[in-house]
Copies of this chain bind each other. A is one copy, B any other.
């Protein structure tokens, strides 16, 4: 079965800015979904901020193997409840790929536990991404580097936790660098941050960028059944201990009692 993928787009600049709407007539999310659907093993649809529950109901997330997230102008408009629901889906096993300005989205900040700060400049400068982990599946079929002629600059220090692996590092014409491809695991879910994708440039038409996105969906997909309740902390009664023991000493809790959360 194809990997069930949802591209979430904030869909604000597309409605308010002629540059963006001309560049992405189907929305950035639509362009990204089209890119993913070039791969027969991926089945991508879209969801946007403006839909009920931002298009991310409990039911839909339960049937989503991998989610991609692009947001920028309206991070604050994403309901806390939906952001938390997305994080719980990740903890249960859903893959999640954060794109560009999603570094400041609610789910990314929640999953990283860090400031997610960076420096930035919008000057249409050249970005060159270098591979730092050879033969990484997210770079399958690619060379040691690729270029994007016009991009927004993001500069270090990038306020994220040390990743499992640094996959790409970007060079910018104006003199900065940035860790542009970073992998994490959160609960049972795989998380990837990928830097490029400023709304006023045709980044999502770039063949190398599209290949990274397709590779990343495959990498993030975990075919294991979703965990039912990833946050539960079960009590193990004394009689169910793997090794036979006798209870000793004073207790606070009673048998079968739930822990404090």
Residues of A within 8 A of B (CB): 13, 17, 19-20, 72-76, 87, 91, 93, 101, 104, 110-125, 128, 130-135, 137, 140-141, 144-145, 147, 150, 153, 155-159, 161-162, 164-166, 169-177, 179, 184-189, 198-201, 222-224, 227, 230-238, 241-243, 245-253, 259-261
Contacts and interface: CB of A to CB of B under 8 A. Distances in A.
8 contacts: A20-B252, A75-B260, A93-B135, A104-B260, A124-B249, A132-B156, A153-B236, A162-B166
Given A249-B200, A253-B122, A243 B175 contact: yes
B111 A91 contact: no
A148 to B, nearest CB: 12
Nearest to A87: B113
What secondary structure prevails in chain A residues at the interface with B?
Answer: loop
Contact of A222 (B17, B137, B234): B137
A101 B141 CA distance: 30
A162 B159 contact: no
Quick one: copies of this chain in the complex? 4
A113 B223 CA distance: 22
Nearest to A151: B249
Given A75-B260, A124-B247, A171-B242, 11 more contacts: A104-B233, A124-B251, A130-B156, A134-B227, A135-B189, A137-B224, A153-B241, A161-B184, A162-B185, A169-B179, A176-B242
A103 to B, nearest CB: 9
B156 A169 contact: yes
A165 B185 contact: yes
Nearest to A101: B260
A249 B157 contact: no
A158 B137 contact: no
Nearest to A231: B115
Contacts of A150: 248-249
A183 to B, nearest CB: 9
Contact of A252 (B13, B174, B246): B13
Contacts of A238: 121, 123, 174
Given A176-B171, A186-B114, A251 B130 contact: no
